[in-house]
Amino acid sequence: AQSVSQHNHHVILSEAASLELGCNYSYGGTVNLFWYVQYPGQHLQLLLKYFSGDPLVKGIKGFEAEFIKSKFSFNLRKPSVQWSDTAEYFCAVNELNTGGFKTIFGAGTRLFVKA
Amino acid sequence: NAGVTQTPKFRVLKTGQSMTLLCAQDMNHEYMYWYRQDPGMGLRLIHYSVGEGTTAKGEVPDGYNVSRLKKQNFLLGLESAAPSQTSVYFCASATQGASGGPYEQYFGPGTRLTVT
């Protein structure tokens, strides 16, 4: 079974700081990769996704992520964070097994942005 | 177009009681999922379904059962609730992509369950 590792459980930044959240996965086959965001009290929403093509993916609200196949990584970045980016961020990977495709989530990274 | 809805939003159970959580989606999605979210543990997959009449086990299936009799509905059952099942439960659905795998998931608002 594969795993998805998010290296930082809690991150605290000041507004305008740059953000990079790490995500590594262990699945060796073809991967589909996602970043989701959960704002306080809300359900998860998609930030961006990678299926194929350009490994640098741009998502909503100025977020981007880079798929590096050799490193099994899909790190999330934003050049300048805002207070409204305070949320929990989840990396996820599609895995194919006998029951069909399923999606495995990382444990999440809580980001707090100080105004 | 309501997206993904979950019923109920909140529930308190006593140990040993049973209940069913209902998830409904109106997007004609093939894939449906049930997750539980606990502090510090992210989302853990309980069961999922790749189409009407099919179900499969996820990471933490013990103590739960599911059914997908209709494409738009995915039911999660707790036969004998335990305090360890206190959690927030999220349902999600996804359409099937060209490769056969799911595209991004659309999540419901969650059900907060407390078992005393």
Q: What's the pLDDT band for B78 if we cut at 50, 70, 90?
A: very high
Phi, psi angle pair for A62, to nearest 5°: 80, 5
Interchain proximity A43–B33, CB inside 8 Å:
no
Nearest to A64 by CA among A21, A10, A1: A21
Determine if the peptide bond prior to B102 is cis (ω within 30°).
Answer: no
User: Quick check: B63 and B82 in contact, CB under 8 A?
Assistant: yes
Residues 3-62, chain B: which have Cβ within 8 Å of A? 31, 33, 35, 40-45, 48, 50, 54, 56-59
Q: What's the pLDDT band for B97 if we cut at 50, 70, 90?
A: confident
Interchain proximity B43–A100, CB inside 8 Å:
no
DSSP B102: B
pLDDT at B2: 76
User: Quick check: A9 and A107 in contact, CB under 8 A?
Assistant: yes
Task: Quote the radius of gyration of chain A (alpha carbons, Å).
Answer: 14
- C-alpha B69 chain-centroid distance: 14
pLDDT at A2: 59
Query: What mean pLDDT, rounded, does chain B reach?
Result: 92
pLDDT in tens, B81-91: 999 999 999 99
pLDDT at A100: 64
DSSP B75: E
pLDDT at B69: 95
Q: What is the helix, strand, coil percentage profile of chain A, to 5?
A: 10, 55, 40
Nearest to B82 by CA among B60, B56, B103, B98: B60
Of A7 and B24, more confident: B24
The pairing of strands B111-115 and B10-13 is parallel
Q: Say yes or no to pLDDT of B102 above 80.
A: no
The whole-angstrom separation of Cα B36 and Cα B111 is: 9
Token pair of B54, please? 């099919």
Å between B16 CA and nearest CA of chain A: 28
pLDDT at A92: 93
Tell me whether A102 touches chain B (CB under 8 Å). Answer: yes
pLDDT in tens, B26-67: 999 999 999 999 987 888 999 999 899 999 998 899 999 999
SS in 3 state form for B13-60?
ECCCCCEEEEEEECCCCCEEEEEEEECCCEEEEEEEECCCCCCEECCC
* pLDDT digits (tens), chain A, 115 positions: 558 999 888 999 999 999 999 999 987 777 789 999 999 988 899 999 998 889 999 999 999 999 999 999 999 999 999 999 999 999 999 877 665 677 889 999 999 999 8
User: Quick check: B36 and B60 in contact, CB under 8 A?
Assistant: yes
3-state secondary structure of A33: strand
Q: What's the pLDDT band for B1 if we cut at 50, 70, 90?
A: low
C-alpha angle with apex A82: A78 to A88, nearest 5 degrees? 75
